[in-house]
Amino acid sequence: MEKNTTNKKSDRIKGILHIILAAFGFAMMSFFVRLSGDLPTMEKAFFRNFVAVFVSLFMILKSGKSIKIKEGCLPDLLIRSTVGTLGILCNFWAISHMAIADANILNKLSPFAAIIMSIFVIGEIPGRFEILTVIVAFTGAAFIVKPGAGVASLPAIVGVAGGVFAGTAYAFVRKLGMKGERREMIVLFFSVFSSIVCLLFMLPDYKPMSLTQLLILIMAGVSATVGQLNITAAYTYAPAKEISVFDYSQVIFAAILGFLFFGELPDMWSWIGYVIIIGTAIVSWRRNLRK
């Protein structure tokens, strides 16, 4: 019994570390997507996913394992890939039309959606404390987004949709992990699926890019792959209700990048939001350690 408790605690810590690394990777992805300039969303999304195809394929081949989908996982992989692709497209469009910190905040509705969708996808019922933790973190996000300052605009609505799609995808990642599907296979399937979808829509409206833009989009793909591998690992180690609040650290990373490179200086309300989010993460962390 004690050994099982120790293993569960170790998995939770691994999940938290992976989700923070994922948050940094996705913040860097947002930075490079914005830096790439006025390119079509489909082109940006294609390179974000195409790089991940090679990285995940390399990891599988290096492990010496076959490229084979575990029996019974194909339907969940298809759903995960569909909603994940929709989430990326919505997020990239929002990033191109909003401050990156605001776009990242809206995308961070995904942990809330993951907890809710986990109820229906895998039957994980969160406790009242977990629900309260996410609500408080979401309140902190609202301070940063400042609803009265135009959050009801089209970019913000698209950003919210992206967060909901992403959270749904994470719930299916957790389900696939519980079924024993390899995280590298989950990433590979998703990357191939989304690359094909983006390519089909990209070719008719392709816009030539400079060498600099190409390199920037490749870096966006590398950063996204770091985030994707870590977020997949995180939700295979622990359920959303135990680690999802730490995904909000992406907001901090995005705000720092926005300030350093785009002059997006957070105002007083944003700082209040950051304090609430970080405070919530610390409270949740300490409570989970005690448990």
Q: State percent of the chain over pLDDT 70.
A: 93
The CA distance from 256 to 116, in Å, is 30
In total, how many domains does the chain have?
1
More confident residue, 8 or 125: 125
Q: State percent of the chain over pLDDT 90.
A: 27
pLDDT at residue 1, rounded to an integer:
52
Category of 44 on φ-ψ map: left (φ > 0), alpha (ψ -120 to 50) or beta: alpha
Domain annotation covers residue 7: no
pLDDT tens digits, one per residue of 222-246: 998 888 788 878 878 887 667 877 8
Assess contact for 33 and 48: CB atoms under 8 A.
yes
The CA distance from 123 to 32, in Å, is 37
Assess contact for 27 and 91: CB atoms under 8 A.
no
In whole numbers, what is the pLDDT of the chain averaged over residues? 84
Alpha helices in 68-127 (DSSP H): 74-97, 100-107, 110-121
Domain annotation covers residue 192: yes
The CA distance from 240 to 15, in Å, is 10
Q: How confident is the model at residue 211 (pLDDT cuts 50, 70, 90)?
A: very high
Domain annotation covers residue 193: yes
pLDDT at residue 147, rounded to an integer:
61
Q: How confident is the model at residue 118 (pLDDT cuts 50, 70, 90)?
A: confident
pLDDT at residue 279, rounded to an integer:
83
Domain annotation covers residue 11: no
Does position 291 have pLDDT exceeding 70, yes or no?
no
Which structural domain, as residue segments, surrounds residue 63? Answer: 18-290
Q: How confident is the model at residue 102 (pLDDT cuts 50, 70, 90)?
A: confident
Burial of 224 (0-12, 13-18, 19+ CB in 10 A): buried
Does position 29 have pLDDT exceeding 90, yes or no?
yes
- Total-model pTM: 0.79
Of 142, 107, 130, the C-alpha closest to 274 is: 142
Domain annotation covers residue 133: yes
Domain annotation covers residue 272: yes
pLDDT tens digits, one per residue of 181-192: 988 888 889 989
- As a whole number, mean pLDDT of residues 145-150 equals 59
Domain annotation covers residue 82: yes
- As a whole number, mean pLDDT of residues 272-287 equals 79
Assess contact for 187 and 50: CB atoms under 8 A.
no
Domain annotation covers residue 13: no
pLDDT at residue 169, rounded to an integer:
93
115's CB contacts (< 8 A; 6+ apart) are 126, 130, 131, 134, 167, 240, 241, 244
Does position 96 have pLDDT exceeding 80, yes or no?
yes
Q: CB 38: neighbour CB atoms within 10 A?
A: 7
Does position 274 have pLDDT exceeding 60, yes or no?
yes
- As a whole number, mean pLDDT of residues 200-223 equals 91
